[in-house]
Structure 1
Amino acid sequence: MSKEFEIVREFEVDATPEEVWEAITHGTGAYLWPMEAPEPKVGGTAAFGSTVTAYDAPHHLTIRSEDVGIPIQSLNQLEHVIEARDGGRRAWVRYVHSGIFTDDWDNQYDGASRHTDFYLHTLREYLTHFAPRPVTFAQLNGPESASAPGALTEVERALGLAGDAAPGDRVTVRGPREFDAVLDYRNPYFVGLRTDDALIRVFGRNHWGAPVGISIHDFAADADADVNETAWQVWLDKVYGQTS
């Protein structure tokens, strides 16, 4: 049965409204994934065939789609309201994700709500530590076995994360290679790792019946998306006992 939903978040960030605006409109690959930037006008086109319904740089952006293209959702809208704080040195952001889920409402809402928190945290990490550096983006998913209930725990163990490691801790990570990082996010659903040049995001989508996934936001000048994707895919497949 179809039912409306609304996910509202508000936060402040150490960035100007202009920097926030740039991050959410310039292809968004720095904290989400590369996509079509919104056409800068009301009525303009935006990602996935959506339409710009509010455009007031750098304060108000709304994008709406009434043809989402997936069977579980018939309407999707994303709204950002941005205001200056501390004389323009900081920004306050109100983010509203709303729409209509047409099936599996509780599960879809839970997943969307928890993903929202993680994505907005990644936005703040980008603005605080990396903006305006350009990003090289890669993403990948584990095999079918990565959908099992304990799949995210397997990845955490393989990464070498201690059970009591908490956000803010410096950790030595055993990924495709060993590297040092800050554990910037951790809960039962997601893991975030920040190095001097990258944000590595681990998505425990097994909680919603999909495989665990990883995205790499690489800000190094010599970053190579194909190399990152291949290295992490080989590593993730090995975590779940898959070999080529």
Structure 2
Amino acid sequence: MAQDKEFEIVREFEVDATPEEVWTAITEGTGGYLWPMQPPEPRVGGAAAFGSTVTAWDPPHHLTIRSEDVGFPTQSANQLEHTVEPRDGGRAWVRYVHSGIFTDDWDNQYDGASRHTDFYLHTLREYLVHFAPRPVAFATVDGPAASAVPEGLEPAARALGLTAETAVGERVTVRGPHGRPVEAVLDHRDAYFIGLRTDDALVRFFGRGHWGAPLGISVHDFAPDADAKENGAAWQEWLDGAYA
């Protein structure tokens, strides 16, 4: 029987960006590290993405957005809160709190949300340090049903040409769409996610098979001539081939 239960995921970090740069990213630049979203209306009570409402608005220091009608069968409330403060050297300190109510499958839902939070916030820092405020062409694709297993990330790693010895921080040459070599830094890797940073893009691999969903790829391309539709088609072909 489903039972409502609150959750809270809290993270704190510093980043080589000013509070104003962080604020711009979380309000206007979400395509650079999450996905493009409707910017929140700049006032308490204003409308925000996915039917949510702004409940705190104090630029560039405090932003809270809440929804009581999430639209997911396993969640009935969702709140995202950012607190941003300046630090020496033009840096910023960020406290991020994701809270709400899960209505079913609490442990699995919490594990997925917690691990995704860490990866998304890592990608936010990569975006702020290397690419903000450049415009982004965003694409996302999903793998086949065969990738919806706990070990579903492994075929993608092999298709890229990564080995068990490839360490985070290494410069690598991976096999991209159409067999083309892609020069990148392996900026993140664990059993759940892979992150690649090229000179012009962030490419993220989500091993969602741990939570019963197909593997996903998001491409955040900051090149001046980037084509989101073309990127999506190319990586979809690559992804289908990785699991053929």
Indicate the TM-score class for this superposition, using the shorter chain for normalisation: over 0.9
Counterpart of 1:225 (choices 224, 228, 242) is: 228
Q: Distance in 2 between matches of 1:149 and 1:135?
A: 31
Deviation at 1:150, TM superposition (A): 1.9
1:86 is displaced (CA, Å) by 0.4
Matched, 1:125 2:134: no
Matching of residue 103 in structure 1 with residue 104 in structure 2: yes
Q: 1:190 aligns with which of 188, 193, 210?
A: 193
Matched with 1:113 is: 114
Q: Give the counterpart letter for 2:191 in structure 1.
A: P
**Mapping 1:144-163, distance limit 5 Å:** 144-163=145-164
Kept after mapping to 1: 8 A contact 2:150/2:211: no
In structure 1, the gaps of 5 or more residues are: none
After superposition, residues 65-84 of structure 1 pair within 5 angstroms as: 65-84=67-86
TM-score by length of structure 2 reads 0.97
Residues 206, 217 of structure 2: 8 Å contact kept:
yes
- Matched residue type, 1:60: H
Q: TM-score, normalised by structure 1?
A: 0.97
Closer/same/farther in 2, CA of residues 143 and 205 from structure 1, 3 Å limit: same
Query: Per-residue displacement from partner, 1:169-200 (whole Å, max 9, x unpaired)?
Result: 11111121211100000000000000000000
1:21 touches 1:59 (CA, 8 Å); kept in 2?
yes
Q: What is the one-letter code of the residue matched to 1:19?
A: E
**Contact 1:27/1:36 (<8 A) preserved:** no
CA RMSD for the aligned pairs?
A: 0.7
| Residue in structure 1 matching 2:202, options 199, 212, 220 | 199
SS in 2 for 1:161: coil
- Unaligned ranges ≥5, structure 2: none
- Equivalent-residue separation in structure 2 for 1:150 and 1:12 (angstroms): 32
Equivalent pair of 1:14/1:128 in contact (CA under 8 Å): yes
Percent of aligned pairs with the same residue?
A: 75
CA drift of 1:151 comes to 1.4
Contact 2:9 2:98 in 1 (8 A): yes
- Is 1:17 aligned to 2:22, yes or no? no
Query: Equivalent residue for 1:142?
Result: 143
SS in 1 for 2:139: strand
Helix, strand or coil: the match of 1:134?
coil
Distance 1:135 1:27 in 2: 8
Q: 2:192, 2:206 within 8 Å by CA — same for their partners in 1?
A: yes
- Contact 1:38/1:52, CA 8 A, preserved across alignment: yes
User: In structure 2, how many angstroms separate the alpha carbons of the residues matched to 1:42 and 1:27?
Assistant: 20
CA distance in 2, matches of 1:227, 1:178: 17
Distance across 2 between alignment mates of 1:8 and 1:45 = 24
